[in-house]
Every structure is written in structure tokens, then in C-alpha cells.
Amino acid sequence: MPSSRVSRPKHFLVCEPRHFAVEYTINPWMHEDTQVDVDLARGQWAELIRAYRAHGHTVDSVEPVAGLPDMVFAANSALVVEGRVFGSLFHAPQRRPESTAYETWFKNAGFDVQHPESVCEGEGDLVPVGPYILAGTGFRTTPEAHHEVQEFFGVPTIGLQLVDPYFYHMDTALFVLDDGGDGAEANIAYYPEAFSPGSREVLQRLFPDAVIATRQDAMAFGLNSVSDGRHVFIAPRAEALADQLTRHGYVPAPVDLSELHKAGGGIKCCTQEIRS
């Protein structure tokens, strides 16, 4: 049966991995003395941008800054909803200067940026879906920041506890299949064991029809995906998850960012969504 799911055009902000490196270890994926192939990283990243554009999405780019090797992970720079920008305050001192670089882009594009008072890593942990913002905590973004986010956007913000260091940002364990726009039903895919028992129950109550992924899918960065409501840009090694998505009427669009996985990031980490 051909898929009847409808793609919605999106606006993304990205940053080329020109200065990509693994120079410090702030998550279990990063290992000291890891050599990265910057040309390979740039080539894989360029494929992602090509895929977004080929599917009708708008992509803007921030100029990368030398000495900020994780700047490619644009998702951590902010959360943008209805044209309002809640910026970031990184946990790791090495990443803190990224916030300023992204803020310059936002300001030049005509957005004001709200500065968090507590540690907050943007869409890495903050995920708008349907009438809510799902908000992860445990490793990076703090519960205090969740309160700030709710106050700033006026959107019910649902705190969820992350418990597995491999899934240190919520966007490594959960992604939005349908954001609930244009009358489509909001839905997500996630790996339950990345969450505390209570948080699993919350997700189960909110999204009883969610797609449930395995640890293997999650370790392949399969949950670090981007969906436009029809196409799902997904890591090619998350095969079981891609099959499930196909059965649910989505169209997987595989993009391999294996070189960036060395820093603990994948497709979604490289993608900041500008919701206007």
C-alpha cells in the first residue's frame, strides 16, 4: 500500500563540520585519541543537507568557528517555537562559546534570544510535540531550565528522566514522527530503557501508539532521526526501526553520519529546527 503520510516543509539551521574533532570526552561515545577524518565528516554531512533540500526543506547554515569541534551539533544551540528563541547554556565549558556563535546568527536573522539561567542544551533535550514540550534531564539540561522553558513559551513542559549515559541527550533516545501540525496525530518513536520507570509510564500515557525501538536501533543512532511527517532521515544501521517505520506508513531516507557518531551525535544532533 503506498504511503498516505504527508510531508511538511521545514526550516533547518546547520553548521558544517569544518573544524570537527574529538578533543575532549563529555559522553561515553567520545574517546581520547580518536582520530577523525574531517573530509569524510564533511562529505557525509553534505549528503544530509542534499537530502533535506531534495525533499523540499529549507536549510540555513551558521559559519563554523575554529576551536569549537562540536559546533556541528546545531540542535544544542536553542529551541525555537513560533519564532521565539530560547538559547543554550552548555554543561561542558568547552562548548559554552558555541552559544554566542549561534546567537549571532539568530540576531542577524532577526530573532531575539532568551538566555537560560540554568544548564540547557536546546533541542538535544527539548522536544516540542503536539501541545507539549518534552524535556529530558539527568545528564545535561536541568529541571530548573525546564521551568524556564515552560515560563518562556507558555507551553506545558513535561520533565523526563534519562538514566543511561549512552543516551545523555533525549534526542538520542526519542524523536518526533509527527509533530501534530495540520491535523495529523502527534506521535513519537523512542527507546523506553533510556528513561526512568516513571518517565516511561508518562510516555506510554501520552503516546500509546508510539513506535518502540530496541537498544540496537538506539545504539545505531536510529532515534537521532528527523521526520517531516512522511520521510524519516535515519541512520542506515537502524534497520529494524526503519522496517517498523515503513510498516507505519513512513518513508525512511537513510543518511550515514558514522564519522560524527564518534562524537556521540547523528542526524538530529546536526539539525536545529526553526519553527516560525
Catalytic site residues? 169, 269
Task: Pick the closer one to ligand ARG by CB: 24 or 152.
Answer: 24
Task: Pick the closer one to ligand ARG by CB: 25 or 248.
Answer: 25
Asked whether the beta carbons of 29 and 166 are under 8 A apart, the reply is yes
b/e for 64-102, b at 16 or more Cβ within 10 A? bbeebbbbbbbbbbbbbbeebbbbbbbbeeebeebbebb
Measured distance CA(140)–CA(106) in Å, rounded: 23
Task: Pick the closer one to ligand ARG by CB: 124 or 252.
Answer: 124
Contact residues toward ligand ARG (CB under 6 A) are: 26-27, 30, 70, 73, 75-76, 95, 124, 169, 171-172, 263-265, 269
Q: Which three cell numbers stand for residue 267?
A: 542526524
Closest separation in Å from C-beta 140 to ligand ARG: 7
Nearest to 86 by CA among 154, 16, 27: 154
Count other Cβ atoms within 10 Å, centred on residue 243: 11
Closest separation in Å from C-beta 235 to ligand ARG: 13
Asked whether the beta carbons of 59 and 14 are under 8 A apart, the reply is yes
Q: What is Dmax (Cα atoms) for the chain?
A: 51
Residue least distant from ligand ARG (Cβ): 269
Beta-bridge mates of residue 160: 136
Strand-pair category, 226-227 with 231-234: antiparallel
Closest separation in Å from C-beta 73 to ligand ARG: 4
Handedness of CA 101, 75, 20, 96 (dihedral sign): positive
Task: Pick the closer one to ligand ARG by CB: 5 or 237.
Answer: 237
Closest separation in Å from C-beta 238 to ligand ARG: 15
Beta-bridge mates of residue 132: 129
Closest separation in Å from C-beta 256 to ligand ARG: 17
Measured distance CA(239)–CA(114) in Å, rounded: 39
Closest separation in Å from C-beta 252 to ligand ARG: 20
Task: Pick the closer one to ligand ARG by CB: 160 or 263.
Answer: 263
Task: Pick the closer one to ligand ARG by CB: 126 or 158.
Answer: 126
